[in-house]
Amino acid sequence: MDDCIFCKIIAGDIPSECVLSTEAAFAFMDIGPLAAGHCLLIPRSHYETVDQMPAEEAAAVLGELPALVKAVQTATGCKGVNVLQNNGRVANQLVPHVHFHIIPRNPNDAWSFNWPAGEYTGDHMAELGDAIRKALS
């Protein structure tokens, strides 16, 4: 896609610090890191959201994730990582090209996020479970 910043990075039109390049996937250092070593893993093909990706291509891209996480941990010495994917504008996806954040984490680091756990009432969980299973079939 001509106006996609990540497609321009893959094409070499915008410089990046590439750390992984395969037929299906591309990973590079985030220019606005939440922690040193913060990387982005993206598909080479342009898809705005995960649900648009063919399963085979998603599997090929995500197949690179374990090695990339290990490499980030080794290079940074971090004690853990967050792997985050924001899917859609309402979910805070700022670049409309599928991407996974690999963010090194250490005790007492500078950022955190908390999400308040909700509760299901009555049969709501079972009803949603049924609806999801139906949508998958």
Rounded CA separation 130/73 (Å): 39
**Strands 25-29 and 39-43, bridge-based pairing:** antiparallel
Q: How many domains does the chain have?
A: 1
How large is the average pLDDT for residues 65-84? 97
pLDDT averaged over every residue in the chain:
96
Report the predicted TM-score, pTM, of the whole model to 2 decimal places. 0.93
Which residues belong to the active site?
99
Find the CATH number of the domain harbouring 109.
Answer: 3.30.428.10
pLDDT at 23: 97
Give the pLDDT score at 27. Answer: 99
Quick check: 1 pLDDT over 80? no
Residue range(s) defining the domain that contains residue 94:
5-136
Distance (Å, whole) CA 12 – CA 81? 28
The per-residue pLDDT for range 85-118, each reduced to its tens digit, is 999 999 999 999 999 999 999 998 888 778 889 9
